[in-house]
């Protein structure tokens, strides 16, 4: 039997079966009429591309709470006239009517188009791309993070959506924010930019509703429609400053943190085109031929222990205080050691490089939520990179809402004497899409002065660039010889605009761990 005819017969029988098993009293002579209608209001998405497969995603919205069969099609053309893969997926309220399919048997380094259909309705057509198996000339990644809906409009996402030269979008976390309306954002933007539900999100229904709101944004839909995403969570997908067993923004009266964490994790896997590994750990490696191994870390849920309140605490440098946890740390070292790619790009949520903030507050010289708050494990990694002679490691970092470019030293004192012999990696920080940076709460002249102090040799000689003011994205272009980092900034986020500018460019030559401004 023709495969497509078989699938059509299968869906017909499945729908008939759903109706009859739900109402066994129906007279067999009656004609069963399905009155359910379906819309695809939240667009489509794809993610976690490999050289032979990719995740495709959508959210169906039925008029009645019934089991749905959704047809999916993958084609080589935008008009969907040359299908190469197709099938059916069942969904219902237990998965919030989301549909996620791991489409196998695809060709490497190939652009595909995909679409979903159900009960006469069709989704928009999405575009995706598999990774190369070998022989790729260059890899281009758009790096984004911190997309707070209440803070402004997603102009940076719209600009990324328009690009046709990107292999994938890497989202480093804070995809949503958990806060109640008006708690963290711009209250002047009006009701159309106000969080729903009208409270801090805590249970599964809350998290689902917040994701649904974010994914109704037209620019978020466009960027997911245009490019495959590779995502990792940070803290706000759960609660502010989250760690394994708690969070700063979780109080006892809000119920069980374990239940909240499980609800947030379930909603994340439902709403993001991420390969969920049967609900296990989310850290993973995506290979782009022999050019890039993209190593995505989980610095929140997998192994982070409770943060300290001060660097003066007795256990600040204790060995059992961990960012990654023993299992993930061992896995990370193995990925670094065994990588055959020219570049190891790390999807890293919080700043890895040492940063001296004593000029701002001598009593609080470190960002304790970043790697500086876990100095033993931080030192273990820098020494591992040095002693194992791991080359061409690029940390890409979100969380801070600001732009950074570091040369990562194994010893900051030795670096001051001879920087060229002491660096083990490079770190690039991406600005936020919308989430507040310094100049939204501090006068511009003070922010510019702070940028000068940040990079002053007396404090952070290894920090070569910082921008505390602008929103946008980081574009990485990597080939066998160099990595090029480019920061693109939009002109504003308070209304939708189409302007952006290339503000800064740095180049790293293979084997150097040194930044050159171009």
Verify cis geometry, omega within 30 degrees of 0, for the bond prior to 197.
yes
Burial class (CB in 10 A: 0-12, 13-18, 19+), 31: exposed
Beta strands per DSSP E along 401-499: 403-409, 423-429, 463-467, 472-479, 482-490
Query: Which strands make up the sheet holding 516-517, listed edge to edge?
Result: 98-103, 54-59, 44-47, 229-231, 168-171, 138-144, 472-479, 482-490, 500-509, 516-517
Using CA atoms, how far residue 209 sits from 66, 349, 394, 498, in Å, is 19, 24, 35, 29
- C-alpha atoms less than 13 angstroms from C-alpha of 367 in its C-beta half-sphere: 13
Please, which pLDDT band fits residue 278 given cuts at 50, 70 and 90?
low
**Residue 21, pLDDT score:** 30
Nearest of 145, 133, 137, 136 to residue 170 by alpha carbon? 145
Radius of gyration of the chain (CA): 24
Q: Supply 327's token pair.
A: 């299992």
> What architecture is domain 138-517?
4-Layer Sandwich (3.60)
Domain ranges across the chain: 3-129, 138-517
Lowest-pLDDT choice from 31-45, 73-87, 98-112, 316-330: 31-45
In this model, does residue 186 exceed pLDDT 70?
Answer: yes
Burial class (CB in 10 A: 0-12, 13-18, 19+), 482: middle
**Residue 361, pLDDT score:** 86
Nearest of 109, 103, 113, 46 to residue 78 by alpha carbon? 113
Segment 370-380 shows an average pLDDT of: 97
Task: Give the CATH fold of the 3-129 domain.
Answer: Immunoglobulin-like (2.60.40)
Please, which pLDDT band fits residue 3 given cuts at 50, 70 and 90?
very low
Conformational region of residue 20, where left means phi above 0, alpha means psi within -120 to 50, and beta covers everything else: alpha
Q: What is the mean pLDDT of the chain?
A: 92
CA 416 to chain centre: 34
Residue with tokens 């909240």: 260
Largest CA distance in the chain: 89
Conformational region of residue 97, where left means phi above 0, alpha means psi within -120 to 50, and beta covers everything else: left
**Residue 518, pLDDT score:** 85
**Residue 363, pLDDT score:** 85
In this model, does residue 33 exceed pLDDT 50?
Answer: no
Whole-number Å distance between alpha carbons of 21 and 23: 6
Whole-number Å distance between alpha carbons of 311 and 363: 9
**Residue 301, pLDDT score:** 96
**Residue 212, pLDDT score:** 98
**Residue 74, pLDDT score:** 98
Is residue 490 a contact partner of residue 499, using CB atoms and an 8 Å limit? Answer: yes
Q: Supply 434's token pair.
A: 């919308």
**Residue 259, pLDDT score:** 98
**Taking the model in full, what pTM does it have?**
0.93
Segment 95-121 shows an average pLDDT of: 98
**Residue 35, pLDDT score:** 64
Q: For the segment 216-273, what is each residue's pLDDT rounded down to a tens digit? A: 999 999 999 999 999 999 999 999 999 999 999 999 999 999 999 999 999 999 999 9
Cβ-count burial 444-467 (b if 16+ within 10 Å, e if not) = eeebeebbeebbeeebbbbbbbbb
Beta strands per DSSP E along 174-279: 229-231, 242-243, 246-247
Give yes or no on whether 3-129 and 138-517 have one common fold.
no
Q: Supply 80's token pair.
A: 């969907």
**Residue 421, pLDDT score:** 78
Count helices and strands in the chain by DSSP H and E runs: 9, 26
Of 14 and 236, the structure prediction assigns the larger pLDDT to: 236
Segment 158-186 shows an average pLDDT of: 97
């Amino acid at each position: 039997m023709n495969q497509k005819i078989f699938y059509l017969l299968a869906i017909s029988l499945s729908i008939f079966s759903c109706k009859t098993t739900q109402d066994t009293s129906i007279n067999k002579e009656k004609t069963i009429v399905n009155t359910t209608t379906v819309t695809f209001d939240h667009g489509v998405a794809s993610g976690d591309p490999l050289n032979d497969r990719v995740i495709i995603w959508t959210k169906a919205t039925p008029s009645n709470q019934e089991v749905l069969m959704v047809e999916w099609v993958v084609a080589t053309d935008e008009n969907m006239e040359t299908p190469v893969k197709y099938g059916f997926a069942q969904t219902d309220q237990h998965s919030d009517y989301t549909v996620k399919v791991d489409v196998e048997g695809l060709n490497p380094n190939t652009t595909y188009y995909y679409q979903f259909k159900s009960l006469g309705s069709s989704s928009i057509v999405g575009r995706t791309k598999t990774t190369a198996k070998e022989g790729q000339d260059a890899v281009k990644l758009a790096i984004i993070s911190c997309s707070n809906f209440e803070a402004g409009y997603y102009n940076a996402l719209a600009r990324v959506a328009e690009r046709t030269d990107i292999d994938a979008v890497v989202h480093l976390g804070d995809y949503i924010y958990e806060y109640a309306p008006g708690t963290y954002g711009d209250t002047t933007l009006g009701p159309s930019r106000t969080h729903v539900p009208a409270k801090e999100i805590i249970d599964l229904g809350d998290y689902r509703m917040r994701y649904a709101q974010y994914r109704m944004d037209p620019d978020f839909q466009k960027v997911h429609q245009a490019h495959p995403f590779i995502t990792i969570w940070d803290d706000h997908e759960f609660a502010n400053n989250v760690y394994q067993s708690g969070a700063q923004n979780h109080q006892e009266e809000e119920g069980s943190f374990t239940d909240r964490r499980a609800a947030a994790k379930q909603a994340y896997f439902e709403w993001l085109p991420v390969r969920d590994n049967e609900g296990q750990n989310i850290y993973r490696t995506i290979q782009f031929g022999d050019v890039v191994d993209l190593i995505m870390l989980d610095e929140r849920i997998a192994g982070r222990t409770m943060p300290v309140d001060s660097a003066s605490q007795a256990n600040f440098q204790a060995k059992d205080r961990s960012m990654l946890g023993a299992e993930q740390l061992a896995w990370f070292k193995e990925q670094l050691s065994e990588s055959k790619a020219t570049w190891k790009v790390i999807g890293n949520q919080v700043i890895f490089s040492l940063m001296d903030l004593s000029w701002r507050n001598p009593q609080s010289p470190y960002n304790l939520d970043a790697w500086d708050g876990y100095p033993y494990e931080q030192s273990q990694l820098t020494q591992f990179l040095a002693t194992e002679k791991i080359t061409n490691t690029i940390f890409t970092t979100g969380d801070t809402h600001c732009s950074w470019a570091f040369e990562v030293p194994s010893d900051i004192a030795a670096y001051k004497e001879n920087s060229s012999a002491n660096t083990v990696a490079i770190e690039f920080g991406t600005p936020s899409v919308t989430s507040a940076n310094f100049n939204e709460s501090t006068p511009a002249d003070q922010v510019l002065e702070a940028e000068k102090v940040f990079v002053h040799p007396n404090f952070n000689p290894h920090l070569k660039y910082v921008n505390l003011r602008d929103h946008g994205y980081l574009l990485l272009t990597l080939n066998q010889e160099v990595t090029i980092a480019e920061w693109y900034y939009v002109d504003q986020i308070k209304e939708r605009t189409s302007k952006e500018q290339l503000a800064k460019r740095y180049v790293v030559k293979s084997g150097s761990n040194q930044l050159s401004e171009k």
